[in-house]
Amino acid sequence: MNFPYFISKRITSEANSSFSSIISKLAIISISVGLAAMILAFFILGGFQQTIKQKIYNFKGHLEITKYNMGNALDEKSISFGSDFYVQKDEFEFIDHVQAFAYKPGLIKTQDEVEGVVYKGVDDQFDTTRFAVNMQSGRFIHHKADGYSDEVILSKHIANKLSMELGDKFMIHFVQNPPRFRRLQLVGIYETGLEEFDKSVIIGDLGMIQRLNEWNKDQVGGFEVFVKDKSKIDDAENILFNAIDADLYVDKVSDKYNQIFDWLGLLNQNVTVFLGLILIVACFNMISILLILILERTYMIGVLQALGASKRQVKRIFLFKGMLLVTKGLVYGNLIALIIALIQDQFQLVPLDAANYYMYYVPISWDYESLIGLNVLTFLVVSLALGIPMTVVSRIKPIAAIRFN
């Protein structure tokens, strides 16, 4: 039988009726609360980053292919459906979906308000399933087989500002020479929570822009590309850049909104600092608690050494004791974190202000890699810290320890 492990189990069972029982429970609580906080921090951060990124990707795709334009960014040059990229798009295995778009600036005029907007035209290939998470009320526009639809969807921000409701009709004046206007009908309201979209973009039929720009049916402003694996967007960009026509360029949506993506990246640093602080506190608590346990068992240490136990064996007794406390803390910490995360994920009990956080409740991302990594990291770091109080054991002399009692 493993002698240090046997003694460690005996003092653990006897501790239920001693002062060390309270100390042991404090150690377990310290580890469990710290680990639960770290796990929840990673789950919430991952959910927050994933939600923001998904909102942008659902609205703009992962990559955009447009024609080089040295003038006004909204005065687009057209791309043909007959371009080599669109014809050969099925040959790129990493592409999940491609949809056409075009933009045109305009002014919405009501009886009381005038609002500048950007009209985004889409065709019947637009992925309404991805966009459905942004719809607040109403429906998406219906495209016509002949001509173009006069239906549009507005953001909740624009609709509220113009005091418009579903079914209302209004005039939009397009900025071009000569200026033109169209009468549109509001059939749906969306909300992403992102000011970059909600404050200006309305969505309607691509056919209207084709008519206003005097384009043919095969001419569009550009293509939004969705990739199957988001972790390989950079590779997809490089492949498409080398494959498309010389007068076209491909741009990552994350680069177009780099301020948002950089801000999301900075949040990782905050969580890393938070992780370090919790680990330091957990290590300090375990060192203190183990020192108390060692001092409480000073007489036992002296007796064991007098009976022939080596200092290494005595050290291992308290090392097993400390690792047992860490293991229990990890188990309870995981249970606490997973239960809280599951409740929040299912019932959204903790709300958020969408105006500041771009979402209505605290999101949860089930990042099992981080879960396992945090458990391993916590166990290793705290276990290594247990070596510090072990130096006290090596300095205890049997005669002095026995007299200590």
Instruction: Name, in order, each residue with C-beta under 8 angstroms of 304's C-beta and a sequence gap of 6 or more.
Output: 7, 313, 314, 317
Per residue in 251-270, pLDDT (tens digit) is: 999 999 999 999 888 888 88
| Phi then psi dihedrals of residue 229, to 5 deg | -115, 110
Lowest mean pLDDT among 44-48, 94-98, 394-398: 394-398
CA–CA separation, 19 vs 310, rounded Å?
26
Instruction: Name, in order, each residue with C-beta under 8 angstroms of 113's C-beta and a sequence gap of 6 or more.
Output: 161, 162, 163
> Would you call 225 helix, strand, or coil by DSSP?
strand
Q: Which of 202, 213, 192 is nearest to 119 (CA)?
A: 202
Q: Which of 156, 194, 189 is nearest to 53 (CA)?
A: 194
Q: Which of 182, 180, 185 is nearest to 153 (CA)?
A: 185
Lowest mean pLDDT among 48-52, 67-71, 115-119, 287-291: 67-71
Q: In this predicted model, which residue has the larger pLDDT, 95 or 299?
A: 95
- Which residues is 103 bridged to in the sheet? 120
Per residue in 60-111, pLDDT (tens digit) is: 999 999 988 765 555 568 899 988 899 999 999 999 999 999 999 999 988 8
Q: Which of 335, 346, 366, 357 is nearest to 43 (CA)?
A: 366
Q: What average pLDDT does this structure show over 32-39?
A: 93
Instruction: Name, in order, each residue with C-beta under 8 angstroms of 377's C-beta and a sequence gap of 6 or more.
Output: 279
Per residue in 156-173, pLDDT (tens digit) is: 999 999 999 999 999 999
What's the chain's length in residues? 405
CA–CA separation, 166 vs 189, rounded Å?
8
User: Residue 138: left (phi > 0), alpha (psi -120 to 50), or beta?
Assistant: left
In degrees, to the nearest 5, what angle opens at C-alpha 41 toward C-alphas 34 and 277?
45
Residue 3 clears pLDDT 70, i.e. is over it = no
CA–CA separation, 41 vs 38, rounded Å?
5
What is the H or E stretch that residue 122 is in? strand 114-122
Q: Which of 165, 134, 131, 171 is nearest to 150 (CA)?
A: 171
Give, as one character, the DSSP assignment of residue 179: -
Residue 396 clears pLDDT 80, i.e. is over it = no
Instruction: Name, in order, each residue with C-beta under 8 angstroms of 353's C-beta and a sequence gap of 6 or more.
Output: none
Distances (CA, A) of 122 to 59, 141, 210: 11, 10, 11
What is the H or E stretch that residue 222 is in? strand 222-227
Q: Residue 286 — pLDDT band, cuts 50, 70, 90?
A: confident
| Phi then psi dihedrals of residue 164, to 5 deg | -110, 150
